[in-house]
Structure 1
């Protein structure tokens, strides 16, 4: 959820790095220089042409970052493990804001680099990188990260708070604090080692590792061992009360509430337990929970939205506002949007339509409000029927069009194909494409194959044609 309307396990090791260095040494280069060319400075998304890059595929990010609360500054080294998908003479990473790079290396050797435009970090390694070869990029940098305030899309990236910072990266914020191939269709695993003054807490995606303290500084370690889009990465630094639970099957459930807003006894336990209950209920419809831990963070960050950051959503709310249907929305995203992620931003209804429909299902299950009633009320109350659900435009990816009409599309589909087929879609669609990227066209083809029906006219009406569909 975004906007004011609510809108392979990889471990960095010396042995692995050494192996990669050997595999991509200058002696291994056989092609002449003329056969190497620069990677594209964008990934080809029509809405965000400068986001992402071409010529390589990232498998892992290792972010090691120290944060100073008094100044808001960071000192960091990010290591990127990638594989060339063409013969590369140079390549780009997305990296924006006033952060100063002190060293950059490729496969352990210093590499030339320039900053181009608002976000392009152009890297020229000392020798060409052959197609299919793995390589390691290490970038050391420092400064005070700056958030992005987009007039249409709101705040994202590194957002300073009273006692620390929260990084919320949808859609264009990740590059504010680490160099990244910032496109949804280049997922990678992550390790994050974050050092802060003792007394502060760090939360991030995935599972916690060992925490160490030395000289008044504490280092927290987190690992996301399932593929993750950069826009779903997250950090929260500050004073938090953390609650740890275990769900059915032994799944860790780690939730936290900012100390400044954790004002009622028992709030942390209720938040943790409700998170577990919603995940278990959604698992009964959507299939097994796709990640190795669960949870959520309630933070006083001031962005006025909740976000489905992978495995651990962030809610910028007072605890009284974090109710079951909001949890159902953000946790529903763990299947629809996180594990299964659109190829292009134009397909974001595949995230938000399904997550909003999760709210409707929650209201029916726990508040006795039938989904069909919610559909009818939304259909009758919707005033703006302009725009295409499956192509809303760059500045409208977080509009009601995407959320409400996306959910209405699903209820209309349910009515058309029947409950048995519809709930099979809800279960099989995310399991078939788990950890992958999908498009609207693929969804339509999936439903047509499953139901053995031609649904082209139905989907054209609901997803591609402006105007109020007739019932």
Structure 2
């Protein structure tokens, strides 16, 4: 979900400032906590695992002046095993009147667990494609805007839905578990004739009905998670245009007063630039056979990335960018559990970073933006990006602005720093194109494996530190360059904000400034604490800066000139290892103090790490035959295991 980036503005003031951006992030989190508090109840309903939901057709009457829904939902499903019963997620606040199956009525029961249990007259065989229709009516839950909202805008009745995470069940029978997308969905919505309906997919028709009614028919043929099925009803000013690399439809449904604001129209036109940037870096827009667009809704301070048509309460560029980025990350690829919400919100927040950097900000403004994000991320010493099972019931943890949004987005920025821009963005394109995830669900481990598949680099250590782990590092970087010496010596030590973290391995960005205005960019591959480095430069160094471009998460780090450092680094020991090739036990010569070590495969995967004590041999008997690299005190030596 979603942005409320500009909720502290007057509704249509789009002056862009950093302080407002981050105040609105807090507003975003507050609104989402209120919206979701009643709905974060489960990740998987085990009663719905025995079928695959292929298609749903929603045929209902809705009047935005009346809080009520009535009609039917027809569901086509594929039995995955022999079935005597089928369950749908549906609130018991709505009343089911009939379940029709091949012209006959089936027995059913509405459960207090917000499930509709339907019994077949005879067992349905596995691998059978079948269908049934549920007729229902009632008053959906309108409290705290959980999913189905009826209200007014400028005195005119409006109706809208916002179902993330488990609100779809509040207005239609469906399947909400994050493992089965609805392959296709039809909306056939009857309303009083003066209202228009906006929804997912392609507008098929608008047909007059007797008694001053109208039937609006939308169809989406892209797989869609239940919480992304959405509509907005009201009196709209509609605009039609084209957008994207293949000039697909671009539709906007705005309340009439909103449509009069030049700033809104300018930002809707600017969306074409954002689309081009995202297509360049993420891959082609995922739903180009249907459309992209925005449908305004009256849920104050909110926005939501409903597939093919984002629901918007305001139209700031940051909000537009966030919801548009979700079309790739959240809609095309949906997190496979709410534990993995960062795969949606962190990625959309990174999408904002991309837009700010490439389009909306000067370099100095962008660094200020990143600095503000970093201050929020490090404002507390704990918390992980990945949401543990124990925290799933805590909505403020699941939709944490500090962790799921900002730290998740910054973790992607750190991956980009490690991999380089070209490799990183190609990896994202590989991820969005991977048929295992495209228009499906993905979990954190799936994305980690995609990085390995695309780049050959194992990010297990990174994910353990930054995605599953808690806290952040603070660095002490000492440096010195003795007179007449071309090398700069460094000694890097690290402390962690949270006691659960042992060490954050990270390449460190260093900028060296010369006495005559020279500069050099260096990278210190920091893999152990109190690690020494020696780097050659061809000028006299005046100062050293760390993380100047804010590439990594850190706080309260210091960079200190230490005139004694030459003695420390110049005495850095070299070592030899034997026997090489080795069968069972590896011995090292030339190490006189306890030192950290890592052993890597030749592909860069870490195999073993720990502390080496002089005189103690390393047991490598369990290693597979092949070549390996051992790294101690910044020096790497290759050896072969027989």
Q: TM-score, normalised by structure 1?
A: 0.85
2:289 is the counterpart of 1:299: no
Residue 413 of structure 1 corresponds to which residue in structure 2?
415
2:65–2:150 Cα contact (<8 Å) kept: no
Sort the Cα spacing of 1:222 and 1:268 in 2 relative to 1 into closer, same or farther, 3 A.
farther
Cα RMSD for the two superposed structures: 2.1
1:52–1:181 Cα contact (<8 Å) kept: no
Alignment of 1:299-338 (within 5 A): 299-302=297-300, 304-317=301-314, 322-338=315-331
- SS of residue paired to 1:175: helix
| Cα drift, residue 267 of structure 1 | 5.7
Residue 17 of structure 1 corresponds to which residue in structure 2?
none
Q: 1:70 & 1:251 partners in 2: Cα distance?
A: 34
- Aligned residue pairs total 423
Sort the Cα spacing of 1:165 and 1:51 in 2 relative to 1 into closer, same or farther, 3 A.
farther
Residue 250 of structure 1 corresponds to which residue in structure 2?
247
User: Relative to total residues, which structure has the larger strand share, 1 or 2?
Assistant: 2
1:147–1:173 Cα contact (<8 Å) kept: no
1:157–1:167 Cα contact (<8 Å) kept: yes
Structure showing greater relative contact order (alpha-carbon pairs closer than 8 Å, 6 or more residues apart): 1
2:201 is the counterpart of 1:169: no
| Cα drift, residue 451 of structure 1 | 1.9
Residue 368 of structure 1 corresponds to which residue in structure 2?
361
Q: 2:177 & 2:418 partners in 1: Cα distance?
A: 35
2:402 is the counterpart of 1:398: no
Q: Which has the larger radius of gyration?
A: 2
1:275–1:296 Cα contact (<8 Å) kept: no
Aligned equivalent of 2:430, options 424, 428, 446: 428
2:229 is the counterpart of 1:236: no
Q: 1:466 & 1:314 partners in 2: Cα distance?
A: 34
- SS of residue paired to 1:126: strand
| Cα drift, residue 407 of structure 1 | 0.6
| Cα drift, residue 147 of structure 1 | 3.1
Give the unaligned 5+ runs of structure 1. Answer: 8-44, 150-154
Deviations 1:173-195 (A, max 9, x none): 11111100112321111100101
Q: 1:46 & 1:467 partners in 2: Cα distance?
A: 27
Shifted more, 394-403 versus 77-86: the winner is 394-403
Sort the Cα spacing of 1:447 and 1:210 in 2 relative to 1 into closer, same or farther, 3 A.
same
Sort the Cα spacing of 1:190 and 1:423 in 2 relative to 1 into closer, same or farther, 3 A.
same
Sort the Cα spacing of 1:429 and 1:148 in 2 relative to 1 into closer, same or farther, 3 A.
farther
Deviations 1:100-148 (A, max 9, x none): 2221123433111001114111110111111110110201111222235
Residue 460 of structure 1 corresponds to which residue in structure 2?
464
Q: 1:362 & 1:122 partners in 2: Cα distance?
A: 47
| Cα drift, residue 419 of structure 1 | 1.5
| Cα drift, residue 385 of structure 1 | 4.2
| Cα drift, residue 453 of structure 1 | 1.9
Residue 223 of structure 1 corresponds to which residue in structure 2?
219
Q: 2:267 & 2:124 partners in 1: Cα distance?
A: 49
Q: 2:50 & 2:104 partners in 1: Cα distance?
A: 20
Alignment of 1:18-417 (within 5 A): 47-50=42-45, 53-147=48-142, 149=144, 155-162=145-152, 163-188=157-182, 189-215=184-210, 216-248=212-244, 249-264=246-261, 266=262, 269-291=265-287, 292-302=290-300, 304-317=301-314, 322-370=315-363, 374-382=369-377, 383-391=379-387, 393-394=391-392, 395=395, 396-400=397-401, 401-417=403-419
Residue 36 of structure 2 corresponds to which residue in structure 1?
none
2:162–2:304 Cα contact (<8 Å) kept: yes
Sort the Cα spacing of 1:469 and 1:241 in 2 relative to 1 into closer, same or farther, 3 A.
farther
- SS of residue paired to 1:378: helix
Q: 1:236 & 1:259 partners in 2: Cα distance?
A: 14
User: Relative to total residues, which structure has the larger helix share, 1 or 2?
Assistant: 1
- SS of residue paired to 1:210: strand
- SS of residue paired to 1:441: helix
2:8 is the counterpart of 1:6: no
Sort the Cα spacing of 1:357 and 1:233 in 2 relative to 1 into closer, same or farther, 3 A.
same
Sort the Cα spacing of 1:435 and 1:217 in 2 relative to 1 into closer, same or farther, 3 A.
same
2:228–2:331 Cα contact (<8 Å) kept: yes
Q: 1:54 & 1:454 partners in 2: Cα distance?
A: 33
Q: 2:108 & 2:249 partners in 1: Cα distance?
A: 42
Shifted more, 458-467 versus 426-435: the winner is 426-435
Q: 1:55 & 1:239 partners in 2: Cα distance?
A: 42
- SS of residue paired to 1:353: helix
1:261–1:300 Cα contact (<8 Å) kept: no
Q: 1:139 & 1:47 partners in 2: Cα distance?
A: 24
- SS of residue paired to 2:140: coil
Q: 1:83 & 1:107 partners in 2: Cα distance?
A: 16
1:257–1:268 Cα contact (<8 Å) kept: no
1:81–1:135 Cα contact (<8 Å) kept: yes
Alignment of 1:435-446 (within 5 A): 435-446=439-450
Q: TM-score, normalised by structure 2?
A: 0.63
- SS of residue paired to 2:132: strand
Q: 1:380 & 1:301 partners in 2: Cα distance?
A: 30
2:92–2:115 Cα contact (<8 Å) kept: no
Deviations 1:25-80 (A, max 9, x none): xxxxxxxxxxxxxxxxxxxx984455872210101110011113443222211000
1:387–1:466 Cα contact (<8 Å) kept: yes
